[in-house]
Structure 1
Amino acid sequence: MTEPKHTLVWNNCLNIIRDIIRPQSYRTWFEPVKAVRISGAVLTIEVPSNFFREYLEEHYIDLISKALKRELGKEAKLEYNVRVVSGEDVVTFPQQSTQEIKNKSVPFPNQAGNITNPFVIPGLQQLEIDPQLNPQYSFENFIEGECNRLARSAGLNISANPGKGTFNPLFLYGGSGLGKTHLAQAIGISIKKQFPEKIVLYVSANRFQTQYMDATTVKNKLTDFLHFYQLIDVLIIDDVHEFAGKPGTQNAFFHIFSHLHSMGKQLILTSDKAPVDLQDLEMRLLSRFKWGLLAELLPPDFSTRVEILKAKSYKDGITLPEEVINYIASRVSSNIREIEGTLISLLAQSTLTNRNINLDLAESLIEKLVSKNKPEISVDRIQKIVCEYFRIDPQLFLSASRKRELVQARQISMYLSRNLTKSSLASIGTQTGGRDHATVLHAYNTVCDLLDTDRSFRKYVVDIEKQLKSS
């Protein structure tokens, strides 16, 4: 009788592994392992315990992966079934990413002298540049949805051709917890896999600022600081809005940006706002932020939230009932970080109280986490309240009509949207009948002027704002 495919594949892998490792290690760590099934390029093996799985991941995953790719191709992946000691239940875990991400040593011309690496402690003179990338922030772990499709597609395009296309810089913007850092690092990780020789560096704006301040306190160290960053092939700066009000840091980054861009190096920037909405940043810097592609990440819709929950629970080896996933996705909607935090809290509750994860447990937890929170103030909600306040048909509100009462209502809505939400001017305009950011900015300035000169108008705005904050 012919053996099943999964058994044949695993036996072929074992033949390779047996020739490489010591016999005692093979008997201890590989003989108890059984192949369970194969689906596409994913082979599932069963291990006796979670400790067993973790040991294989830590000590043998590179060897197993190479053997598996010889059998199933470069897309091959491993999945574990961990048998629970107390019964017949099995928990499934995906293969974890353990590959260390390194840059090659940077070659310096002799005349450059001793260049200071701002990422190492003085005195430790080996110039090795740690890319500062988290292996878990990969494209494989990034869930695609309507909220991030443009940004993710641009990231994949850049990964295949860094610094060569029109998406340079890539400027990712959106509210907190929407995946900007994850996506930016995923691009860096993908580039390192495809172009190992490229020097990739991820750094937060706050850390860049600290390094700059340190460099200004020592003679000639600022030159070294600039020279160091000008050697990077792919520079990822997180939270560039934190450069606001720091002219010295902005000037240093301006020169680094200009040099890298002119040399065909890739820049990836993240911010909580679009360039047009950033304050206290030099115009020459803001204009350069717009040279490439601006991609906004929005809060995930329901279907994306469901996929995030499924992916996260699968990664953590948790089996969640469909009704629990749908319930959490319907109640926790603001950002990805909050969704993941809710899932962690649910797992902790289940473990500490020795209860199964079911709808009752999810409802009791969610009630404590979100039931007392006021509804999030969004552009849609502001428009709804404004229309109700002035008794305007929502379709007319979004139309092209220039009637005075409609124009006034739109201007108040856009003013409040800018003040009470994190939406960009462009996003507010799009949601207000497809208007552009210049129209939103004009509306905002008009309302600001009227608040100082028109008492009745000021009362409208105050009343609506109170209603939004109290409801």
Structure 2
Amino acid sequence: MSVTAQSVWNNCLEFIKDNIQPQAYKTWFEPIVAVKLTDKALSIQVPSKFFYEWLEEHYVKILKVALTKELGDKAKLVYIIKMENTYGNKQPFTEKIPSSNRGALKSQDIDVPLNNKSPELRNPFVIPGIRNVKIESQLNPNYSFENFLEGDSNRLARSAGLAVAAKPGGTSFNPLLIFGGVGLGKTHLAHAIGVDIKDKYPEKTVLYISAEKFTQQYIDSVKKNNRNDFIHFYQLIDVLIIDDVQFLSGKTGTQDVFFHIFNHLHQNGKQVILTSDKAPVDMQDIEQRLLSRFKWGLSAELQNPDFETRVSILKNKLYRDGVDMPDDIIDYVAKNIKSNVRELEGAIISLIAQSSFNKKEITLDLARVIVEKFVKNTKREVSIDYIQKVVSDYFQMDIDTLQSKTRKRHIVQARQLAMFFAKKFTKASLASIGSQIGKRDHATVLHACKTVDNLSSTDKQFRKYVEDISKKLSV
């Protein structure tokens, strides 16, 4: 009996099937196609680069064992990735096991037919009974790059947004995930990218939707037994913008359908833009396969604006509203409201309103009254700098010592407590917390949080530290 690529691969699959979960086998091995066998090298075709990376990360050992059983110690596995880039060129990608050298493969790629696009698809945005083939973008034209002012806190995200708008689906920023706390401009920037793309590429289908609405549409499609139509509708989109993607947490059905839509769009050179209140590494109850995709492109954080950016935002707001205001009042508002852009603009609107309604001149005294009320009525968000100061004072050390590289036990514990409370009281990502507390990475912050949790339950003295500092930060 002659040995063929298919027979070798079938034997490998039998072995793999016996050693992994059925769902994992169905997801990651059933789609693979055996292409050819040359000497001791088996070539297999996988659907995407992500698929290849997932196999390499999670199943390389079992693949190696299975192949060695069939072809001996000199066995090699060659991946052929069938992907279409934005210019329509086929780009095969190869990798050999155990060697990590990559090279061009001169074998013929196997074409993977795209899903047929039916003209009778139901549009989830259309009222039942009304035919409308046009897909409205759902974008707000008032959110533009012109009124999204650049500063150190948002430069990376804004620059990436401009790059995506100039060449949607044609940059390495796919998906582009914009994350950050409340009121920092995530939704504004997402709309601005969409508006700019529609302006530059009127023929492209751009769609903005909140994750909450997407979920509701999916639930409706299941109830009405037209899930496939729902999926096919979203596969028609050229630029898909999903706001507050963290809302998908725990919703396995919606995550599954979004997984397939994302896969199709990405493999066909379409652009995906996501916003979230946290970084992928901090998202809870989101499937690993989706998180891996979120990390595939660029994750750009929006941070609290610095003083100069806050002043620019206020001046821009006043200019657009046609209001003059002395610089000392603008500076006072900018110095005292640091949490986010939404609250900053809210305070200036309140100041203008009070002046207008009560026919009072806008003075520094009026600004003090308004800002004091505004700050008092707004839930205070504790900053990482403030947390470091409270922890340092509690342990009677300076902040430089807290952030130092020393491994002295009491200093390490103080640093770990600062990281723990930064994660508890702020919306900053683990990477951002680590960066601000001694230039550590996100893994160090994660370890610190676990250590504090463990010590709190086993060490009475340490538990008192946690309780005391928590009270100081909650005041």
Note whether the superposition's TM-score is higher than 0.5. yes
Q: Which runs of 4+ in 1 moved over 4 A?
A: 371-375
Comparing 247-256 with 394-403, which one deviates more in the overlay?
394-403
AA matched with 2:351: L
State yes or no: 1:393 paired with 2:408: no
Paired residues for 1:293-372 under 5 Å: 293-371=298-376
- Alpha-carbon shift at residue 300 of structure 1 (Å): 0.8
Task: Give yes or no for the alignment of 1:145 onto 2:151.
Answer: yes
For 2:120 and 2:371, locate their aligned partners in 1 and report how far apart those are by CA, in whole Å: 56
Does residue 455 of the first structure (1) align with residue 452 of the second (2)? no
When the two chains are superposed, the root-mean-square deviation of aligned CA atoms in Å is 1.5
Q: How is 1:58-97 mapped onto 2 (pairs within 5 angstroms)? A: none
**Residue from 394, 399, 402 that aligns with 2:407:** 402
Deviations 1:94-147 (A, max 9, x none): xxxxxxxxxxxxxxx997152111111101111211101111100011111111
Q: Which runs of 5+ in 1 are unaligned?
A: 1-108
Q: Which amino acid aligns with 1:446?
A: T
User: CA 1:167 to 1:113, structure 2 compared with 1: closer, same or farther past 3 Å?
Assistant: closer
Are 1:235 and 2:240 an aligned pair?
A: yes
The answer as to 2:193 corresponding to 1:183 is no
- 1:129-170 superposed Cα distances (whole Å, 9 cap, x missing partner): 110111110001111111100100111111111101110010
Q: Deviations over 1:369-423 (max 9, x none)?
A: 1257685311111111111111123212111111111111111111111111111
Q: Which residue of 1 aligns with 2:443?
A: 438
Which one of the candidate residues 220, 223, 233 is aligned to 2:228?
A: 223
2:426 paired with 1:421: yes
AA aligned opposite 2:182: S
Amino acid at match of 1:333: K
Q: Find the counterpart in structure 1 of residue 174 from structure 2.
A: 168
- Secondary structure of the structure 2 residue equivalent to 1:140: coil
2: distance between equivalents of 1:381 and 1:113? 58
With over 3 angstroms needed to count, the CA separation of the structure-2 counterparts of 1:223 and 1:110, relative to structure 1, is: closer
Select the residue among 219, 222, 227 that pairs with 1:213.
219
Instruction: In structure 2, give the amino acid aligned to 1:453.
Output: T
Structure 1: how far apart are the matches of 2:314 and 2:264?
A: 42
Q: Could you list the per-position Cα deviations for residues 215-235 of structure 1 after superposition, in whole angstroms to 9, with x for gaps in the alignment?
A: 00012x111100000110011
| Distance (Å, rounded) in 1 between the aligned partners of 2:372 and 2:117 | 65
Instruction: Output the CA distance in 1 between the equivalents of 2:410 and 2:382.
Output: 23
Is the aligned partner of 1:263 residue 2:268? Answer: yes
Q: Distance in 2 between matches of 1:360 and 1:353?
A: 14
Question: C-alpha displacement at 1:260, in angstroms?
Answer: 0.4
Shift of 1:428: 0.6
Deviation at 1:298, TM superposition (A): 0.5
How far residue 455 of structure 1 moved from its aligned partner, in angstroms, is 1.0
In structure 2, what is the Cα distance between the partners aligned to 1:396 and 1:260?
49
Residues 192-211 of structure 1 correspond to what in structure 2 (within 5 A)?
192-211=198-217
Once the two structures are overlaid, the 10-residue window that deviates more, 255-264 or 366-375, is: 366-375
What's 2:165 paired with? Answer: 159
CA distance, structure 2, for counterparts of residue 137 and residue 153 of structure 1:
16
When residues 276 and 161 of structure 1 are mapped into structure 2, their CA distance, relative to the original with a 3 A threshold, is same
Question: What's the offset of the Cα at 1:436?
Answer: 0.4
Relative to structure 1, is the Cα distance of residues 167 and 372 closer, same or farther in structure 2, using a 3 angstrom cutoff?
A: closer
Amino acid at match of 1:140: E
Give the aligned residue type for 1:261. Answer: H
Q: Secondary structure of 1:201's match?
A: strand
Quickly say closer, same or farther: Cα 1:375–1:197, change in 2 above 3 A: closer
SS in 2 for 1:141: coil
Provide the C-alpha distance between the structure 2 equivalents of 1:334 and 1:289, rounded to a whole number of angstroms: 27
Tell me what 1:467 maps to.
472
Matching residue's letter, 1:237: I
Could you state the TM-score of these two structures normalised by the residue count of structure 2?
0.74
Residues 176-200 of structure 1: CA deviation (Å, up to 9, x unaligned): 1000011111111111111111111
Letter in 2 for 1:274: A
| Distance across 1 between alignment mates of 2:377 and 2:204 | 49
How many positions carry a matched residue from both structures? 361
Three-state SS of the structure 2 residue aligned to 1:216 is helix
Task: Give the CA deviation at 1:356.
Answer: 2.4
**Equivalents in 2 of 1:437, 1:284: separation in Å?**
20
Task: Provide the TM-score with structure 1 as the length reference.
Answer: 0.75
Structure 1 pair 111–435 and aligned structure 2 pair: CA distance change class (3 A):
closer
* Structure 1 residue 276 corresponds to structure 2 residue 281: yes
Partner of 1:285: 290
C-alpha distance in 1 between matches for 2:448 and 2:154: 28
**Residues 381 and 425 of structure 2 are in contact (CA less than 8 Å); yes or no, is this contact kept in structure 1?**
no
2:99 maps to what in 1? none
315-324 or 356-365, larger mean C-alpha shift:
356-365
Pairwise CA distance, 1:441: 0.5
How is 1:245-260 mapped onto 2 (pairs within 5 angstroms)? 245-260=250-265
CA distance in 2, matches of 1:441, 1:110: 45
- For 2:209, what is the secondary structure of its paired residue? strand
SS in 1 for 2:428: coil
Is the 2:205–2:238 contact (alpha carbons within 8 Å) kept by the matching residues of 1? Answer: yes
Structure 1: how far apart are the matches of 2:404 and 2:304?
Answer: 26
Q: 1:222 to 1:345 in 2, by over 3 A?
A: same
Structure 2 counterpart of 1:346, one-letter code: L
Give the aligned residue type for 1:112.
Answer: S
SS of the residue aligned with 2:381? coil
The code of the aligned residue for 1:212 comes to Y
How far has the Cα of 1:358 moved from its partner? Answer: 2.5
Q: What amino acid maps onto 2:246 in structure 1?
A: H
SS of alignment partner, residue 294 of structure 1: strand
Q: What percent of counterpart residues are identical? A: 59
Q: Distance in 2 between matches of 1:393 and 1:179?
A: 34
